Amino acid sequence: MFATSLVQTLTFAIAAMICVTGALGVVALRNPVHNALSLVATLFGVAVLFIAQEAYFLAAIQVIVYAGAIVVLFLFVIMLLGVDRAESFAAERHPLGLAVGGILGGGVMVLAAVTLFAGVDTATGRRSTVGALAPSDDLNRIGRALFTEYAFAFELTSLLLTIAVLGAVLLSRRASGPPIDLDEFPAEEPDADAEEVEA
Amino acid sequence: MSALVWLIPALPLAGFVALVVGGRRLGDPWAGWLATAAVGGSFLVVLGVFADLVGRGAEARSIHQELFTWIPAGSFQASMGLLADPLSITMCLFVTGVGSLIHLYAIGYMHGDEKFSKFFTYLNLFIFSMLMLVLGDNLLLTFLGWEGVGACSYFLISFWHTDPANASAGKKAFVTNRVGDWGFMVATFLVWTSVGSIGYLDIANAAHHGEIAAVTATAIAVLFFVAATGKSAQLPLFVWLPDAMAGPTPVSALIHAATMVTSGVYLLVRLNPILHAAGWANDLIAWVGVATALVAATVAVTQNDIKKVLAYSTVSQLGYLFLAVGTGNYVAAIFHMVTHAFFKALLFLGSGSVILGMAHEQDMRRYGNLRKYMPITAGTFIIGWLAIAGVPPFSGFWSKDEILAGAYAHNKVMLALGLITALLTAFYMSRQVFMTFFGPERWREADAVATGDGDHADAHDSAHDSAHDDHAHHLTPDHTPSESPWVMTLPLVVLGALAIVGGALNLPFTDSTKVLEHWLEPVVGVHELGVEGATLVALAAIAVVLGLVGIGLAGAVYLARRIPASTVERPEFGWGLWIDRGYAAFMGGPGRALFDAISRFDKAVIDGAVDGVANAVGAAGAVLRRTQTGRVRNSAIGLATGAVAVLVYFVVRMSF
Amino acid sequence: MSPNAYVLLGAVLFGIGAAGLLIRRSPLVMFMCIELMLNAVNVTFVAFSKMLNDVGGQVVVFFVLVVAAAEVVVGLGIIVAVMRRRSGISADDLSLMKG
């Protein structure tokens, strides 16, 4: 009993450390590729935590979808746009922004922790009616819940994904006309002209 | 069939929608056929419902169909419900029956017009509105139809709106009607406060139980009568109807003769339980009615435009209807309304046929001998003439006689005025027939019209007379009139037949021949005329003799030419027109100043307040928009701050 | 492990993500921060699901995953579209939607 508990504690501690380190890396590192790799670390840590909580199915899709697909997509975009260029915009961190972000982020952190701790038993005061987890396997349970209780929401997600795909195709398709410079929207057009003349 | 009552207005509405969507593509003439089919189908449904009602006992002859609650506002309820009872079905029968005939006719009349499909779109919308007016089970629904027919009337009068005269005629009709609509609205408010409902069944119930005080009932009746004077062109608001003749002739026949203008009468008959308690309001209605009948008839004598004569004649006949309503003789009012719909629609359509045959010339002084060229038009027009002149056994004789009998029982002066009107009616209608279908072919004489135009009462209206000039090909001396196509003559023949036999609806011989009276009894109650046997026959005889005198006089003047026309077409007869001119003078002078002042008040105070609010909101927005920098991170900061605030709230709530 | 540890970890991750979102100006990194925050929420959901022995929490995580995928696809599409027209962009430059 003690051994199991120790293993669990150790697992949690290591995974949590990986998560937090990765998260700090995402926020602090300058190179976008490093950011993305830090994100992968965090996601893996979360996946380990899922396994520790016996959410095996979620751990699997966490790795496949998040660490696999989404982060690869990030990296793909970073490479597509060029690492140098991507790096350049990581520069310039305003001290005021740093302060505001730190205060608000920290505030959220502390307050959320307090609220969640105190509210563990009284969050809503009501149990979900979907069904118990144990003793059968989680995949079975999730599948049953998805296709009975949440069937409508599940169908909606398919619609959402379709829309997202269509939107991505539309956004990244090369426009047939000449490219539009974002600096040149009508209200500021005279200024742009003046600069051109000076140049 | 009773479950299908909703189909009656739904079919014309469907036709309207279909024409709005695809009318232009259907074009000439298929748009017209579609519209005719919609109204014709509606007529068939009405026939079915009618047969259903006939099959029931007198007490059960009422179908109340509530489709849905239209306006649920606290204790105020307005349902979208239809009430099919003998009165509304009678109205529906002739609205859809005569309406589909006129639709058919219009296919021929409007042929070649560039706005052909639009015309039928409006016509179907009109029929729908009219059916809602008639079938609505509460005042608000009737008001919806009331406004709908008013709007359609406006659209159709100014249908050829490129001519300013037509456009202003439409405007005049609309504005004049608005005066009456005020009465309708205030009366509805009064009904709501005194009865607590605006459903006709509730109103009738309340009135039968004496829950409406006599003073309130009188006020309601007077206000509804104000509404009726607008819609049904009575003194002093009749001025718009003659100008309304600027619209295409099928419109004049459908809206301004057969259906819409009778809606005022329908409204008052529908509210007869209130009128029973309304005291002197009934006398007011009767007196205004008979005065209108007389005034309009005198004006009609001096008119030279073929449609203007019919327009004033319509005003005059509507006066008869109100005389009947005012004397409590509701059956006679409905009876004459139906027969009038037959023969006046016939006369208007006949005049349209003549106008088309005469290259859009409307001046009767350029007509003559047309019976040779247009035999069907002439034959049916003569039937209509005999009907309106009150010659037995044509339909107008029976219905008019019943109104006069009611007037006799009520007040002898009313009877005398009614009889004089009958004489004048016979005279001006004979004048029209003789000038149009008999005598020399005057359009072959050059400048027949130019002489003596100045002293005519309608001189100031000459702009309206030539309203169609852009549309018309001018009448030349070598013109040969020709008969109209079958789609136009078929309605004439059918209406001609109806104008002959329409009197059979309510023959006064025995109790069992009074079909219409017993049919309407569930709605209007039993009404004893108090005029029996010999008196009735004597009255009828007097009316017939006066009618024949009128015809004879007209024959002497216009056919035999024993008496010069100028001795009878006195300008003084046009005195009814002074009302029209009085309005114009008032609106041009003191009225204008008053309205300008109101307008200034509106601009400065009302608009000022409205603009002030708008400006304040705008200024606040100009300041607040600076918070919207468009930067994502600023929004994120806002979001995070909000999240912190919510969490602080949770923490605080948990701590205390 | 008690759920308390998981909840605390969730709060920490969420706070780091929120701070990163506010501090960084690169749209790409901002997106990654959003993913961090979503994951933080997922951790707590799974923890509560386990604690309450209720499958609902796991189902919600599933939906969060789907929505995150959709969001990343569209978001990266926007970034690519913008970057193709302008180089060296920071999120503060995209202020066309200002009032």
pLDDT digit string (tens) for B381-411?
A: 999 999 998 888 888 888 888 888 888 888 8
Mean pLDDT of the region B69-83: 83
Yes or no, beta carbons of C22 and B624 under 8 Å apart: no
Q: Which of B633, B641, B647 sits opposite A112 (nearest CB)?
A: B647
Angstrom distance (rounded) from CA B199 to CA B203: 6
pLDDT one-digit tens code per residue, B466-512: 444 444 456 777 777 888 888 888 889 998 998 888 888 888 777 77
Which residue of C lies nearest to B638 if distances are taken between CA atoms? Answer: C22
Q: What is the DSSP letter of A178?
A: P
Which residue of B lies nearest to C30 if distances are taken between CA atoms? Answer: B633
Residues of C in contact with A81 (CB under 8 A): 79-80, 83
A112 — contact with chain C (CB < 8 Å)? yes
Q: Where are the alpha helices (DSSP H) in A53-82?
A: 56-61, 71-81
Strand pairing class (B76-84; B63-73)? antiparallel
Q: Which of C19, C74, C93 sits opposite A27 (nearest CB)?
A: C19
Residues of C in contact with B633 (CB under 8 A): 21-22, 25, 30, 91-92
pLDDT at B469: 41
Residues of A in contact with C20 (CB under 8 A): 23, 26-27, 101, 105
pLDDT one-digit tens code per residue, B353-372: 888 888 888 888 888 888 88
Which residue of B lies nearest to A107 if distances are taken between CA atoms? Answer: B644
> If you write DSSP's letter for every residue of B398-466 in order, what string do you get?
HHHHHHHHHHHHH-HHHHHHHHHHHHHHHHHHHHHHHHHHSS--GGGSTTTTTTT-TTSTTGGGHHHHT
Q: Amino acid letter at B158?
A: S
Which of A123-132, B243-252, B376-385 shows the lowest per-residue confidence on average (mean pLDDT)? A123-132
pLDDT at B323: 92
- For the record, the structure tokens of B629 come out as 């920098």
In this structure, are residues B320 and B402 in contact, taking their beta carbons and an 8 Å threshold?
no
Which of A29-38, B67-76, B544-553, C81-90 shows the lowest per-residue confidence on average (mean pLDDT)? C81-90
Architecture of domain A1-91 in this structure: Up-down Bundle (1.20)
Mean pLDDT of the region A169-197: 56
Which residue of A lies nearest to B639 if distances are taken between CA atoms? Answer: A104
Question: Would you say residue B450 has pLDDT above 60?
Answer: no
Helix (H) or strand (E) holding B219: helix B214-231
Question: Would you say residue A95 has pLDDT above 80?
Answer: no
Q: Which of C18, C30, C95 sits opposite B630 (nearest CB)?
A: C95
Beta bridge partners of B63: B84
Share of chain C above pLDDT 70, in %: 85
Which of B161-170, B309-318, B443-452, B527-536 shows the lowest per-residue confidence on average (mean pLDDT)? B443-452
Q: Is the preceding peptide bond at B491 cis, omega within 30 degrees of 0?
A: no
Share the mean pLDDT of chain A: 76
Give the CA distances from residue A93 to residues A34, B578, C22, C31, in Å, rounded to whole numbers and listed in that order: 17, 88, 11, 17
pLDDT at B590: 78
C97 — contact with chain A (CB < 8 Å)? no
Q: Is the preceding peptide bond at B29 cis, omega within 30 degrees of 0?
A: yes
Give the CA distances from residue B629 to residues A95, A166, B635, B645, C33, in Å, rounded to whole numbers and listed in that order: 20, 29, 9, 22, 22
Share the mean pLDDT of chain B: 84
Nearest to B125 by CA among B240, B11, B294: B11
Going by pLDDT thresholds of 50, 70 and 90, the confidence category of residue A105 is confident
Question: Would you say residue A49 has pLDDT above 80?
Answer: yes
Which residue of B lies nearest to C98 if distances are taken between CA atoms? Answer: B630
Angstrom distance (rounded) from CA A44 to CA A93: 28
In this structure, are residues B206 and B156 in contact, taking their beta carbons and an 8 Å threshold?
no
Residue among B637, B644, B653, B654 with most chain A CBs within 10 A, to mutate: B644
Nearest to B297 by CA among B371, B377, B390, B181: B390
Helix (H) or strand (E) holding B170: helix B164-195
Question: Would you say residue A188 has pLDDT above 80?
Answer: no
Q: Which of A39, A92, A113 sits opposite C35 (nearest CB)?
A: A39
Residues of C in contact with A80 (CB under 8 A): 80
Burial status of residue B437 (CB atoms within 10 A of its CB: 0-12, 13-18, 19 or more): buried
Angstrom distance (rounded) from CA C1 to CA A16: 12
Q: Is the preceding peptide bond at B236 cis, omega within 30 degrees of 0?
A: yes
Which residue of C lies nearest to B634 if distances are taken between CA atoms? Answer: C22
Mean pLDDT of the region B90-102: 90
Across B94-98, B354-358, B439-443, B570-574, which has the greatest mean pLDDT?
A: B94-98
Mean pLDDT of the region A112-136: 59
Mean pLDDT of the region A12-23: 92
Which residue carries 């038009």 as its tokens? B377
Between positions 39 and 68 of C, the ones with CB within 8 A of A are 39, 42-44, 46-59, 61-63, 65-68
Beta bridge partners of B78: B71
pLDDT at B96: 92
pLDDT at B134: 92
Residues of A in contact with C93 (CB under 8 A): 182
Residue among A27, A92, A98, A114 with most chain B CBs within 10 A, to mutate: A114
Residues of B in contact with A112 (CB under 8 A): 647
Buried b / exposed e across A160-192, counting CB within 10 Å, b at 16+?
beeebeeebeebbeeeeeeeeeeeeeeeeeeee
Residues of C in contact with A25 (CB under 8 A): none
Going by pLDDT thresholds of 50, 70 and 90, the confidence category of residue A131 is low
Q: Which of B637, B648, B651 sits opposite A104 (nearest CB)?
A: B637
Q: Which of B633, B637, B644 sits opposite A111 (nearest CB)?
A: B644
What are chain B's partners, defined as 3 or more CB pairs within 8 angstroms? A, C
Question: Would you say residue B324 has pLDDT above 80?
Answer: yes
pLDDT one-digit tens code per residue, B222-261: 999 999 998 888 888 888 888 888 888 888 888 888 888 8
pLDDT at A21: 93
pLDDT at A14: 92
C53 — contact with chain B (CB < 8 Å)? no
Residues of A in contact with C85 (CB under 8 A): 179-182
Distance from CA of B84 to the nearest CA of C (A): 57
Angstrom distance (rounded) from CA B278 to CA B213: 9
Angstrom distance (rounded) from CA B583 to CA B589: 10
Largest Cα separation within chain C, whole Å, is 51
Distance from CA of C64 to the nearest CA of A (A): 10
Task: Identify the three-state secondary structure at position B356.
Answer: helix
Q: Which of C5, C39, C53 sits opposite A134 (nearest CB)?
A: C53
Q: B69 φ, ψ to 5°?
A: -80, 120
User: Residue ranges of the domains in chain B?
Assistant: 1-137, 138-587, 603-655
Which residue of A lies nearest to C83 if distances are taken between CA atoms? Answer: A81
Task: Identify the three-state secondary structure at position C63.
Answer: helix
Question: Would you say residue C14 has pLDDT above 80?
Answer: yes
Domains of chain C, start order: 3-88 (1.10.287.3510)
Give the CA distances from residue B7 to residues B10, B78, B306, in Å, rounded to whole numbers and listed in that order: 5, 20, 38
C75 — contact with chain A (CB < 8 Å)? no
Angstrom distance (rounded) from CA B13 to CA B82: 15
Question: Would you say residue A91 has pLDDT above 70?
Answer: no
Residues of C in contact with B627 (CB under 8 A): 99
Yes or no, beta carbons of B628 and C91 under 8 Å apart: no
Angstrom distance (rounded) from CA A19 to CA C9: 9
Question: Would you say residue A199 has pLDDT above 50?
Answer: no
- Compute the 3-state secondary structure of chain B and give helix, strand, coil in percent, each to the nearest 5: 75, 5, 20
Q: Where are the alpha helices (DSSP H) in C1-99?
A: 3-23, 27-52, 56-85
In this structure, are residues B42 and B131 in contact, taking their beta carbons and an 8 Å threshold?
yes
Residues of B in contact with C18 (CB under 8 A): 640, 643
- For the record, the structure tokens of B525 come out as 């109650």
Angstrom distance (rounded) from CA B84 to CA B270: 12
Going by pLDDT thresholds of 50, 70 and 90, the confidence category of residue A130 is low
Task: Identify the three-state secondary structure at position B80.
Answer: strand
Share the mean pLDDT of chain C: 83
Contact partners, residue C96, CB within 8 Å, separation at least 6? A182, A185, B630
pLDDT at C39: 93
- For the record, the structure tokens of A9 come out as 């504690």
Going by pLDDT thresholds of 50, 70 and 90, the confidence category of residue A102 is confident
Q: Which of C18, C21, C92 sits opposite B631 (nearest CB)?
A: C92
pLDDT at B366: 82
Between positions 618 and 647 of B, the ones with CB within 8 A of C are 624-633, 636-637, 640, 643
Question: Would you say residue A119 has pLDDT above 70?
Answer: no
Nearest to B191 by CA among B236, B153, B241, B138: B138
pLDDT at B451: 42
Across A181-185, A192-196, B246-250, B382-386, which has the greatest mean pLDDT?
A: B382-386
More confident residue, B125 or A122: B125
Question: Would you say residue B137 has pLDDT above 80?
Answer: yes
A123 — contact with chain B (CB < 8 Å)? no
Q: Amino acid letter at B269?
A: V
User: Residue ranges of the domains in chain A?
Assistant: 1-91, 133-174
In this structure, are residues B262 and B321 in contact, taking their beta carbons and an 8 Å threshold?
yes
Residues of B in contact with A188 (CB under 8 A): none
Which residue of B lies nearest to C34 if distances are taken between CA atoms? Answer: B636
